[in-house]
Homo-oligomer: A and B are copies of this chain.
Amino acid sequence: MTIYIEPLAKLVNELSKLPGIGARSAQRLAYHIIEQSDTDITALVEAIASAHDEICFCQVCQGLSDGPTCSICSDDSRDHGVICVVAGTRDIPAMERSGEFNGVYHVLHGVISPSDNVGPDDIRLRELLARLADDNVREVILATNPDITGEATAMYIARLIKPMGIKVTRIAHGIPVGAELEYTDEVTLARAMLGRREL
């Protein structure tokens, strides 16, 4: 690609580092940015800078927050007796969209994965155990992904927590709503069969 203007080339380079932005998209975005008004660009630049500077981790659930405690953890209308454990901060908005959960969260910031040299001490498991010791927690829902490391992490945590007398559950895996049986992969189908419930 021949881009002969230094600031444009730099911008394309920075934009193409973003996830899901290839060389073509980066170029299109760069031209768009150049053509925008000063106000629009100031808004974009400030949004990036302030999101990056102001957002930290909630000291309770380790999720994203713009203060010491996030809005979910400081919400008294939510059930603090049920903790949903997720691998990453992005899983919280996904779960919130479902509207099915009114408890609180705990973000592990990763999963146990020996092949990547990630052990139990490398994820925020200690923080979870501290919450279980202090709080009046009745149930821990393990909502890590249904892949090998996600499953292994869920099993590991379950074995740690069960002796404490706390109910430990795992979210259900099965055929996505709206999907067709014919086109569902075999692993999901197997899970759906194993997880069948009596009607």
Contact = CB atoms under 8 A, between A and B. Distances in A.
A64 B5 contact: yes
B93 A11 contact: no
Contacts of A93: 1-3, 27
B29 A51 contact: no
Interface string A90-113: 100100110000000000000000
Centre residue among A50, A66, A93, A97 by max chain B CB count within 10 A: A93
Nearest to A95: B2
Interface in A50-75: 50-52, 54-55, 64-66, 70-72
A13 interface: yes
B32 A19 contact: yes
A47 B38 CA distance: 14
Contacts of A28: 19-20, 90
Contacts of A179: none
Nearest to A65: B5
* Interface SS of A by simple majority: helix
Contacts of A5: 55, 64-66, 70-71
A71 B21 CA distance: 27
Interface in A125-166: none
Interface of A: 1-8, 10-11, 13-15, 17-21, 25, 27-34, 36, 38, 40-41, 43-45, 47-52, 54-55, 64-66, 70-72, 89-90, 93, 96-97
19 contacts: A1-B97, A2-B93, A5-B64, A5-B65, A5-B71, A8-B64, A10-B51, A11-B51, A13-B47, A15-B44, A15-B47, A17-B40, A18-B32, A19-B28, A21-B29, A30-B51, A38-B52, A41-B49, A44-B48
Given A7-B54, A10-B51, A45-B48, 19 more contacts: A1-B97, A2-B97, A4-B96, A5-B64, A7-B50, A7-B55, A8-B51, A8-B64, A10-B47, A11-B47, A11-B51, A14-B43, A17-B44, A18-B33, A27-B93, A34-B51, A34-B64, A36-B52, A48-B48
